[in-house]
Chains A and B, each alone.
Chain A
Amino acid sequence: MGEFWGVLANNTDLFRTGFGNTVKLFAMASVGSMVLGTVLAMMRVSPVPVLRWAGTAYVTVLRNTPLTAVLFFLVFAYPLLQILRLSFFEAAAVGLMVYTAAFVCEVVRSGINTVDVGQAEASRALGLTFIQTLGSIVLPQAIRSVVPPLTSVQIALLKNTTIAAGFSVAEAGAIRDYLSERGENVLYGLIWVAIGFLILVIPLTLLQRNLERRWRVAR
C-alpha cells in the first residue's frame, strides 16, 4: 500500500503538469468545438443548399473517422502540406476541436429540430421578427434539449484528450511514459491517472444527469 501512495507522493509534479495540460487542452478544444459546432449547425439548418451540403459533408467525414486518425493526420501528414506550423499541443487542440465540433453540430441541430414548427409559425403570425422568434421562442426551448447531450459530448471530449498523449503532448495520458522513465510502478501510476479522471468526470456526469432530469421537456 505504501508503494501505491508513494507513486503519487513522489511524482506530484508529474501529475500536476499532466492534469494541468489535460484541463488546458480540454478548455481550448471545448470552447473551440462549441463555437465551430454551432456555426456548422447554423450551416446545416440554413435555407442555403451549398452551406447545408458543406455542413453535412463535414459532419459525415469527421464523425466516421477515428479521432486517432484525425490526430495522426494533423501530427504526421499535415506538416507536409506546409500551410501553418502547429506545435504538438496546438495540433492536438485543433484535432480535438474539429472532431468534437461534428458531434456538437449534431446535438445543436437536433435540438433546434425538436422545437415544433408551429411554435415558430405562431410567433411569426404574431408579428415577431426573426431575432425575436429566435431569441424568445425557439432558443429557450432548444437549449433545454441541447444542454444535457452537449454535456455528454464535452465529457467524451475530456476523456478523448488522453489520445493526445500518443502524439507527444505531455498531458495526463502521457504520465505513464515519464513514470516508467523514473522507474516507478506503472500500474499504480495508471490507477492514479484513472482516479484523476474519475474526479474530473463524475461531477460533470452528475451535472448532466441533473440537467437531463430537470429540463426534460414534455412535448
Chain B
Amino acid sequence: MSAVLFDVPGPRSIARYRMAGVLGGLVVFGVLGYVAYRFYDTGQFDGRVWNWLQYEQVQRDLLDAVKNTLRAFAFGAILALAFGAVFAAGRLSEHAWLRTPAMLVVEFFRAVPLLILIFVFYYGLPSAGLKMTPFMALVLGLMLYNGSVLAEVFRAGILALARGQSEAAYALGMRKTQVMTQVLLPQALRAMLPAIISQLVVLLKDTALGFLITYAELLRYAQIIGSQFQFGRPLVPVFLVVSAIYITLCLLLTWLATYLEARNRRVRRVRGLPTAPTELAPEQPPMVMPRGGAPV
C-alpha cells in the first residue's frame, strides 16, 4: 500500500523495514521491560500492596468515587449542552445587542483556565459572602468552560450547512425559529455529534480537577487509599486501577462517537438514494473542527 511518505516497498526496503522493526521492537520492549523491572524491584507487584482491592468496604468506596465522578460529569454535561445551545443561539442572533454579549461571554470563558474558574467559585466567592460546595464549584466551572466550547461547536455546525438550506426554508415561509429548530439544528447536530462527544470526553477528564478542591471523586479517593499505611501505601497500584477506570470510561464515550458517526454515514448514504428526491441532504458532509483551545 502506498502512503503519502512511503512508496510501495521493494525487496530491499522490506528488508530495511524488518531491521527497523526488530530494532524498534527491541527499544520499545527494553523501555517497557525496564519500567516493569522498576515496578518489580520496588515491590509494586507484591500481593501486599494489592490487598486493598479485596476489602468489600474499599470496593464500595471505590464505586462511590466513580459515581461521584460520573455525577459531576452528568450534571456538567447537561448544563454545558444547555449553556452551549443558548449561547450559540445568542451568537447567531440577528440582533447585535444579543450577539455581542454572547460573544464576549463565550470568548471570556474559553480563554480563562478552567481551574481558575473553579477556584473563583470555590475559594473566591466565599469572600463575597457566597459559600459553595466543591461539587457546585466543579459543575459550574465545567458548565461555563465546556458550554462555551460547545457553543462554538454548535455555531460552527450551523454555519457549515449549505446556505440554500435556510434560504429554501425562508422561501417556504418558515419563521426564524422554525428554520432553526426544524431545518438547521437537526442537520447540524447530526454533523456535529462526533465533535460534541469528543468535547464530552474532555469534560469527563476535567472532572478530575475536583481533586484539587477536595471533591470526593475518583482521584481524591486514589490519594486517600494510596496513603494508607495499613495497605502498604499502594499509590502505584491505586493509580494503575484508577487510570484504567478513567481510560475505560473515556474510551466508551469515544466508541459511542465512532458508532454514531458510522451510523450517521450509513443514514446519509441511504437517504441519498434517488428514490428519495425530496431529501434535503447537504451537498457535502460538512467537516468542521471546533476552533480555539478545545481539543485538550
Contacts and interface: CB of A to CB of B under 8 A. Distances in A.
Interface of A: 43, 45-51, 54, 60-61, 63-69, 72-73, 76-77, 80-83, 99-100, 103, 112-113, 115-117, 119-121, 124, 130, 133-134, 138, 149, 152-153, 155-157, 159-163, 165-166, 173, 176, 180, 185-187, 189-191, 193-194, 197-198, 201-202, 205, 208-209, 212
Contacts of A61: 243, 247
Contacts of A119: 4
B250 A64 contact: yes
Q: A-B pairs with the 8 shortest C-beta distances? A: A66-B208, A156-B296, A187-B124, A64-B250, A166-B212, A159-B113, A68-B208, A66-B205
A132 B154 CA distance: 42
A77 B223 CA distance: 10
A24 B114 CA distance: 20
A117 B2 contact: yes
B105 interface: no
Contact of A198 (B112, B125, B222, B294): B112
A24 B121 CA distance: 27
B295 A69 contact: no
A82 B34 CA distance: 12
Contacts of A208: 291-292
Contacts of B6: 47
B124 A190 contact: yes
Contacts of A197: 111-113, 116
Interface of B: 2-7, 9, 13, 17, 20-21, 24-25, 28, 35, 38-39, 41-42, 44, 108, 111-117, 119-120, 123-125, 127-128, 201, 205-209, 211-212, 219, 222-223, 226, 233, 235-236, 239, 242-243, 246-247, 250-251, 254, 289, 291-296
A138 B4 contact: yes
Contact of B211 (A43, A72, A112, A152): A72
The residue among B112, B113, B236 with the most chain A CB atoms within 10 A of its own CB is B113
A200 to B, nearest CB: 9
Nearest to B201: A64
Contacts of B120: 187, 190-191, 194
8 contacts: A50-B25, A64-B205, A76-B226, A76-B235, A77-B235, A159-B112, A159-B293, A176-B119
Contact of A48 (B20, B35, B209): B20
Interface-centre pick from B41, B219, B243, B246 (highest chain A CB count, 10 A): B243
B246 A156 contact: no
Secondary structure dominating the interface of B: helix
Nearest to A159: B113
Contacts of A176: 119, 123-124
A200 B250 CA distance: 30
Given A47-B6, A82-B38, A173-B115, A187 B293 contact: no
A147 B232 CA distance: 47
Contacts of B294: 152, 156
A212 B13 CA distance: 38
B295 A103 contact: yes
A72 B3 contact: no
Nearest to A199: B111
Contacts of A138: 4-5
B246 A165 contact: no
Contacts of B119: 173, 176, 190
B111 A198 contact: yes
A76 B236 CA distance: 8
Given A47-B3, A66-B208, A99-B296, 9 more contacts: A65-B243, A66-B207, A69-B246, A72-B219, A121-B7, A156-B294, A173-B119, A186-B123, A205-B111
A209 B212 contact: no
Contact of B236 (A64, A80, A155, A189): A80
A208 B209 CA distance: 27
B5 A134 contact: yes
Contact of A173 (B113, B205, B295): B113
Contacts of B4: 45, 112-113, 115-117, 119-120, 138
